[in-house]
Amino acid sequence: MKILVFLNFFTIYSTILGQEFSYNGLLGPAYWGNKYQTCVGKHQSPINIVEHYVEKVTLPPLWFSGFNIPRKAMLTNNGHTVLLKTIGTDVPLITGGPLRDDVYAFEQLHFHWGENDKEGSEDRINNRSFAMELHAVFYKLSYGSYKAATNFPDGLTVLAYFVTVAETFDPTYSPLVETLPLIEDIGSEAVLRDNLILESILKTNQPSMQNYFTYNGSLTTPPCSEVVTWIDFKKPHILSHEQIEAFRRIRSAEGERVTHNFRPVQPLADRIVFENIPETSHDYSHGIPNHRNHHHPQQFAGQLANRASLPIIVIISLATVLRR
């Protein structure tokens, strides 16, 4: 069966010439602040989450809508990571939890990994690094686009999934892993052979999605904008060594294998990390509810208040979005 492959040589050429950051040498994380002042900001990501010091809270449930719909999807090697975007105008939505009543729309997902299976995640738990970390990136729908949302302190949310290693492979990752050999060169893109159901990768239909840590932070790559609500799920995904090793074969702008692409942890400073303790178990995988009757604990609301004061946007139903 044929998989469509696209090589954008203009993109490749401009990317190589205009490479602005790396994970090694003079363009590595220690030097990002020379060009991007925000990268030396006070509320940077990733961080080390120490469970002994987190604040336990019970937040409204996270709700997920549209993740169970098959969609065409494309993988891209941008020289730093493997990035997946869906093709089409209808996108999955999330709300609830630390996002309050605001609705966020899926933009892309990507991965971070290390040279071996002992490190690779960006956030750490009790100073433990995982073999890989998946980031699903969403932007606040009321801002209209990802680019516009990056100008607001509550513009983005990132769902973070830790990945551990086992002898058995996860078949839900097979469509991605099988496509990786087609995007080893920087700038290359490949459409997955079959439509992808994001729910199969992001596990949005599982009760464990209500067990997470959350904090305010930044993008973990330049420009390191401090506009992200991080949601780190406690239950890791499990992949085989061979599946993770396939990611290490993509090439950077220098033509070398991207063997590692994680930023070192940053100081927590004055931030509080919250651990959500869910009230009950329900199916939150379909539909966007109105949950205005839920209240956030006072200390959590205080952390949110550190961001810009913005009006609460009325919940936009999935049906309304799809009619656009």
What's the pLDDT tens digit per position in 71-114?
Answer: 999 999 999 999 999 999 899 999 999 999 999 999 999 999 99
- pLDDT above 90: residue 39: yes
Rounded alpha-carbon distances, angstroms, from residue 19 to 11, 27, 84? 11, 9, 20
Tell me if 312 sits within 8 A of 142, measured CB to CB.
no
Q: What is the pTM of this model?
A: 0.84
Q: Which residues contact 69 (CB under 8 A, 6 or more apart)?
A: 90, 92, 197
Determine the pLDDT at residue 19: 56
What's the pLDDT tens digit per position in 218-247?
Answer: 999 999 999 999 999 999 999 999 999 999
- pLDDT above 80: residue 292: no
Instruction: Check residue 11 and give left, alpha or beta (phi > 0: left; psi -120 to 50: alpha).
Output: alpha
Tell me if 155 sits within 8 A of 140, measured CB to CB.
yes
Determine the pLDDT at residue 303: 55
Mean pLDDT of 152-164: 98
Which has more pLDDT, 91 or 280? 91
Q: Residues of the chain with pLDDT > 90: what percent?
A: 77
Mean pLDDT of 302-320: 40
What's the chain's average pLDDT?
86
- pLDDT above 50: residue 319: no
Determine the pLDDT at residue 312: 31
Q: Residues of the chain with pLDDT > 70: what percent?
A: 80
Tell me if 249 sits within 8 A of 234, measured CB to CB.
no
* Other CB atoms within 10 Å distance of the CB of residue 131: 22
CA-to-CA distance for 201 and 128, rounded, in angstroms? 23
Mean pLDDT of 9-36: 73
Tell me if 99 sits within 8 A of 291, measured CB to CB.
no
Determine the pLDDT at residue 20: 83
What's the pLDDT tens digit per position in 171-196?
Answer: 999 999 999 999 999 999 999 999 99
Determine the pLDDT at residue 316: 37
- pLDDT above 60: residue 289: no
In the block, residue with structure tokens 């893109």: 189
CA-to-CA distance for 158 and 181, rounded, in angstroms? 27
SS3 175: helix
Tell me if 147 sits within 8 A of 117, measured CB to CB.
no
Domains along the sequence of the chain with CATH: 5-323 (3.10.200.10)
Tell me if 210 sits within 8 A of 278, measured CB to CB.
yes
Determine the pLDDT at residue 320: 41
**Catalytic residue IDs:** 80
Determine the pLDDT at residue 14: 35
Res. 261 pLDDT band, cuts 50 70 90? very high
Res. 26 pLDDT band, cuts 50 70 90? very high
Determine the pLDDT at residue 284: 52
